[in-house]
Chain A
Amino acid sequence: MNNIPTSDDVIQIIADEIAVEPNQLHPGAKLTELGVDSLTVMEVLFVIEERFAMQLEIGEHAQFTTFGDLMEDLHRQLGLTAPSPSLV
């Protein structure tokens, strides 16, 4: 991975952290069913921050219920342009 994150980079990081295949991460997937709790979200953000030397806000993450919610926020914070096909 280079230092400008793409949507696929972020999805791969999340998939690695929670030990699922990237294709399991669709917008409607419930975070609780993926085994993602608030601590996991924080850890994922930390890994993204470390990988791309960026600072992210924790913000409203505790309110997210679906993977789509999480990705929408990350898109905004990271300035990701083209959404990955898996989010369409």
Chain B
Amino acid sequence: MRVFVTGIGAISSLGQGVGALQTALSEDACGIRMHELKAPAPSDQTVSSLCALVDDIDLSGISSDKISLRHLDRNTELALAATDEAILSARLTPEDLRTCNTVLGTSTGSTKSVEDNYHRLFAQGRNALSPTTVPRSMSTSALSALSLVYGIQGLCFVVSSACASGAHAIGEGFQMVRSGRTDIALVGGTEAAVTFGVWKAWHALHAMSSDGCRPFCATRNGFVLGEGAAMFVLESEQSVERRGADVFGELVGYGHSSDAFHITQPSQTGVESAIRGAFEDAHVDPGEGALISAHGTGTKLNDVTEANALIATVGDGLDTSDVIATKSLHGHLLGAGGALELAIGIIALNRGKAPPIHGYREPDEDIRLPLVLGQPKPIESRYLLSNSFAFGGLNVSLLMRSK
């Protein structure tokens, strides 16, 4: 069964909404800037770092009598903002929502509540935690909020696979619709994990850059943390026809693999398997080429591994391919990265223009890819390959075809 994307919603440091995203892409705007991250009060610990944070989250168009929207954690607010837009763009009715399935990718759940409440317990020696600690901190807090606000009574669950969470969520939703298990699936990812504690954890790995995210560049020196959410409505062909829905593109392939190699380092074999799997699943020859939205974190190891894997799998197809790496614009959204990057890829494919890798300075002789550099480039292929490769060797490649 064919599966189409009929709704998209997104929010990130590039702005709220697909419109803001389109504007940011056309202006080569970058959402990465210096921010101060503070430890929970009354600690006076802070750290200043490059990261990509959302400026404002506007939920004024959303209301609910099932859950208070006032004290939501940030990951939930981001998920709601993206979902509301996706639902509106797909023109889903309450009955569509009641019966749809929802799969949400997130790697951390609600980080701020966890940090604040355990700071209260361990650092401040308080005897009790807020009774909402559990419902706020649980990894499903955002997902359950979506179900409550939109009356979703279908199959709903969270997928957590580190940096591949959002991509896995989209892939699993794709499988549900393709298999006929559901007509409509609401899928995507959310992440709001740019907190003092999480930053410190990533800093300890020496994987973050202090001067910018420059994927595939010879001077690249790490990634930059970001936050945001992107959600999609996936629909069967029959449902699209029945509802007269507009289509943004067709999801055709879901490639996935696990490296069984190392807890942080990627395996080229594993990455190749996911990329190859996406083309095979779609019955599409890699020789057709694609707009390739790389995982492209800006770390030495990921980028060269991914480059070699793309050469090994796409081969001659690279002659008609364009490689983009949008983490250079919006940072690494961890669990939501795969979702936001797919949204950007779809926008680019429909515009026919690939956005350049922001901040790129000089070529790396070990990376021989058709990178989009300097200015937007006309896209030759009608396919989009979107890669997400996670710590612990969890890999996803999604293949889309333009409408």
Chain A residues with a Cβ under 8 A of chain B? 18-19, 35, 39, 42-43, 46, 49
Q: Which A residues are CB-close (under 8 A) to B65?
A: 35
Q: Is B130 an interface residue (CB 8 A)?
A: yes
Q: Are B130's CB and A46's CB within 8 A?
A: yes
Q: Is B244 an interface residue (CB 8 A)?
A: no
**With contacts A19-B70, A35-B68 known, is A42 near B128, CB below 8 A?**
no
Q: Are A39's CB and B131's CB within 8 A?
A: yes
Q: Is B135 an interface residue (CB 8 A)?
A: yes
CB distance from B331 to the nearest CB of A (A): 33
Q: Are B128's CB and A46's CB within 8 A?
A: yes
Q: Are A43's CB and B130's CB within 8 A?
A: yes
Chain B, interface residues (CB within 8 Å), range: under 10
Q: Which B residues are CB-close (under 8 A) to A19?
A: 68, 70
Q: CA A18 – CA B65 in complex, angstroms?
A: 12
Q: Are A46's CB and B68's CB within 8 A?
A: no
Q: Which B residues are CB-close (under 8 A) to A49?
A: 128
Q: Are B135's CB and A39's CB within 8 A?
A: yes
A-B interface, 9 closest residue pairs, ranked by CB to CB distance from nearest: A42-B131, A46-B130, A43-B131, A19-B70, A43-B132, A46-B131, A39-B131, A43-B130, A39-B132
Main secondary structure of the interface of A (DSSP, over half): helix
Q: Which B-chain residue is minimally distant from A45 (CB atoms)? A: B131
Q: Which A residues are CB-close (under 8 A) to B131?
A: 39, 42-43, 46
Q: CA A49 – CA B132 in complex, angstroms?
A: 15
Q: Which A residues are CB-close (under 8 A) to B130?
A: 43, 46
Encode contact with A along B119-132: 1 for CB under 8 Å, 0 otherwise: 00000000010111
CB distance from B36 to the nearest CB of A (A): 26
CB distance from B368 to the nearest CB of A (A): 57
Q: Which A-chain residue is minimally distant from B65 (CB atoms)? A: A35
List B99-131 residues whose CB lies under 8 Å from chain A.
128, 130-131
CB distance from B148 to the nearest CB of A (A): 12
CB distance from A53 to the nearest CB of B (A): 10
Q: Which B residues are CB-close (under 8 A) to A18?
A: 68
Q: Which A-chain residue is minimally distant from B133 (CB atoms)? A: A46
Contacts beyond the supplied A19-B68, A46-B128: 14 A-B pairs with Cβ under 8 Å:
A18-B68, A19-B70, A35-B65, A35-B68, A39-B131, A39-B132, A39-B135, A42-B131, A43-B130, A43-B131, A43-B132, A46-B130, A46-B131, A49-B128
CB distance from B268 to the nearest CB of A (A): 49
Q: CA A54 – CA B128 in complex, angstroms?
A: 11
Q: Which A residues are CB-close (under 8 A) to B68?
A: 18-19, 35
Encode contact with A along B20-45: 1 for CB under 8 Å, 0 otherwise: 00000000000000000000000000
Q: Which B residues are CB-close (under 8 A) to A46?
A: 128, 130-131
List B66-90 residues whose CB lies under 8 Å from chain A.
68, 70
Q: CA A43 – CA B71 in complex, angstroms?
A: 12
CB distance from A38 to the nearest CB of B (A): 9
Q: Which B residues are CB-close (under 8 A) to A43?
A: 130-132
Q: Which A residues are CB-close (under 8 A) to B132?
A: 39, 43
